[in-house]
């Protein structure tokens, strides 16, 4: 599985070009599943989930012109048979994992069984937005802890070996400055990047490429 880890979705031509290259075909010929689960641990989560799905969230994901689009709600999966959802995941060209609370997302990716399934999806592209990207790191840092995992801590899935501080210098997020990112990075046990909403990571076969029309910085290595 290739990863396209974004701060705020497919925001520019460079990120979209990377997505198309990873898919190996136009978006209009590809099928996708949207995972909105992370937003449910935030205030107004139900409305935010609708906005993610209908394309009005401002984090381009579902509205890219997919050939087909479904919704995969992770909190529902433990209560239904795997045969009802695993084939749909295996058939999808892309998993679109929305933002929200990264620890809540990490918990439900494990509880649902999706985390265990990901390594076998060799032909799919994982597209993360904000928390959907952060969850791939080994940990997120205490700075981003909101929802508390049952066992505590800030550990996430560890699919990649670096951590992400998204939405750098976003005008609506006064605590996402470079100074805040530097303080966060100083406590991280892995390489730590700060990225703005015009930046993404492409991860293929262990190789990490930064794709950006904005600004980013590796803060610790």
Q: Concatenate the DSSP letters of all residues of 146-181 into one string.
A: -SPPTT-S-B---SSSSEEE-STT-TT-TT-SHHHH
In angstroms, the CA 37 to CA 101 distance is 9
CATH number for the domain that contains residue 150: 3.40.50.880
The domain of 152 spans 2-220
Q: How many domains does the chain have?
A: 1
Q: Which residues contact 143 (CB under 8 A, 6 or more apart)?
A: 165, 180, 183, 184, 187
* Sheet of 163-165, strands arranged across: 163-165, 192-195, 216-220
Contact partners, residue 80, CB within 8 Å, separation at least 6: none
Gap between the Cα atoms of 184 and 49, Å rounded: 28
Is the distance from CB of 16 to CB of 64 less than 8 angstroms? yes
Question: Pairing relation of β-strands 125-129 and 94-97?
Answer: parallel
pTM given for the model: 0.96
- pLDDT value for 221: 72
Q: Yes or no: say if 154 and 107 are a contact pair by the CB < 8 Å rule.
A: no
Matching residue, tokens 């997302």: 105
Q: pLDDT tens string for the chain (221 positions)?
A: 999 999 999 999 999 999 999 999 999 999 999 999 999 999 999 999 999 999 999 999 999 999 999 999 999 999 999 999 999 999 999 999 999 999 999 999 999 999 999 999 999 999 999 999 999 999 999 999 999 999 889 999 999 999 999 999 999 999 899 999 999 999 999 999 999 999 999 999 889 999 999 999 999 87
Give CA–CA dist 152/149, Å, rounded. Answer: 5
Q: How far apart are alpha carbons 31 and 26 in whole angstroms?
A: 10
For residue 221, give the DSSP letter. Answer: -
């Amino acid at each position: 599985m290739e990863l396209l880890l974004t701060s705020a979705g497919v925001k520019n031509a460079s990120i979209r070009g990377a997505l198309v290259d990873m898919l190996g075909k136009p978006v209009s010929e590809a099928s996708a599943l949207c995972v909105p689960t992370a937003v449910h641990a935030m205030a107004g989560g139900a409305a935010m989930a609708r906005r993610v799905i209908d394309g009005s969230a401002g984090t381009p994901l579902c509205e890219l012109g997919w050939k087909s689009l479904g919704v995969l709600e992770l909190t529902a999966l433990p209560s239904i048979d795997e045969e009802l959802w695993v084939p749909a995941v295996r058939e999808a060209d892309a998993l679109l994992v929305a933002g929200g609370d990264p620890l809540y997302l990490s918990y439900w990716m494990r509880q649902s069984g999706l985390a265990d399934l990901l390594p076998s999806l060799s032909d799919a592209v994982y597209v993360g937005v904000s928390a959907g990207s952060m969850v791939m790191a080994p940990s997120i840092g205490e700075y981003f802890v909101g929802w508390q995992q049952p066992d505590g801590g800030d550990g996430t899935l560890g699919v990649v070996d670096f951590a992400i501080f998204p939405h750098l210098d976003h005008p609506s997020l006064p605590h996402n400055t470079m100074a805040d990112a530097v303080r966060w990075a100083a406590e991280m046990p892995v390489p730590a990047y700060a990225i703005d909403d015009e930046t993404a990571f492409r991860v293929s076969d262990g190789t990490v490429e930064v794709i950006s029309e904005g600004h980013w910085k590796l803060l610790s290595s």
